[in-house]
Amino acid sequence: MRRLTKGIAVVFLVVSLTLMGAVGYFGTVLPDTYYLSDGGTATVNCLFDITIEAGDAAIAASTGEAEATDAEIRLFGVIPVKNAKIVHADAKMLIPGGSPVGVKLLTDGVMVVKTAEVMEGVSPAHEAGICAGDNIISANGEKLYSSARLSEIIEDSQGSEIVFEVARNGRSFEVSVTPIYSENDGVYKAGLWIRDSTAGVGTLTFIDPETGIFGALGHPISDSDTLTTLPLGSGEIVDVVITGYDKGERGCPGELYGTFVSGLASGTIELNCEQGIFGTVTYPSRQEAIPIAFKSEVRTGPATILTTIDGSTPQEFEVEIEKVSLSSSAKSKNIIIKVTDPELLEKTGGIVQGMSGSPIIQDGKLVGAVTHVFVSDPTRGYGIFIENMLEATEILTDENLAA
């Protein structure tokens, strides 16, 4: 009898600690505000049953602009986790993409890929404190727009000191670099590997029919060597025709191949950030807009993606949303999806590079976009909430209003 009592006590203690841990964890990571397009209760898809319910006395004070009402987040619908706000709002209407886009981006200044030795044991740039991932904005007061121009300045210095303006992690500072003569190349060098542009193929996520703002990729354009987000100087998207693809396999992600249709830009890139690339389209789209799904409305279960694997016309393919994460700290990688469509699995093996930005549709609503493929399993990948992508466009909207 004592053993039974002791066993029950241990089980009770473990369960209590687990629940306390869950309450503490969700109280920290879950957002304080939730947007809903209808109804008063939302359920968070996770290991534990989390519900968000408006308080009994919480009534919308206005039928005009959206009003926040008090709510409570509960574990299993019973155990209080934290107080929150529910905002009932009309879902924004967006035109879903799925078409391929060519991306051209010029950096703001030039990015340092790495520092190198000019002669054995000597790297002027490294000794001056320049690191991989730094962005050189100017040299001796001259604004830099290309790596070729920086090379000219270094070679013409004849070993004289050059003052660089460098940007790193949101701050700027000046460093002095003294190039040295390279016997191998016959010119003065600073020991810098630099990059000033990039180009590739991605997928359009949406166009806002009211503002002409577009979103694509769902993740930033980053330097392939340093993995840092490239600072945007200028950029554009152009029309692309998909001409082929490599099928993805475990340990080897596939890739879409495309040809830029023309030199004419279909949109200008005005923002490159964690949630994707954003800008304004050159010409309007005549496709039909659909409502978005707020992050609290996204659920596990069947969905579809719009993507293009041949030509320039998007196709709809079946997927399964396996996991939804509402962590307030996560700007991307909010959703895990699994491709279930037999045709897509047969042709590409699942998600391949170039599909980033493909819209995810559930229950007739735009949920988010595909962002990454799992290298170990190309049938699965990450997605970002469309609500998170729209947060980034608020910057552009504010700028347009100010103008």
- Residues labelled catalytic: 219, 341, 356
Mark 251-269 as b/e (b = at least 16 C-beta within 10 Å).
Answer: eebbbbebeeeeeebbbeb
Contacts with 112 (C-beta within 8 Å, 6 or more apart), sequence order = 125, 130, 131, 132, 133, 134, 135, 136, 192, 193, 194, 226
CA–CA dist 351, 256 (Å, integer): 10
Contacts with 398 (C-beta within 8 Å, 6 or more apart), sequence order = none
Tokens of 75: 């574990």
Inter-CA distances, 46 with 80, 171, 299, Å: 16, 39, 10
Rounded to 5 degrees, what angle do the CA atoms 150, 152, 158 make? 110
Which residue intervals of 270-311 are DSSP H helices? none
Tokens of 19: 């629940």
At residue 19, the 3 state secondary structure works out as helix
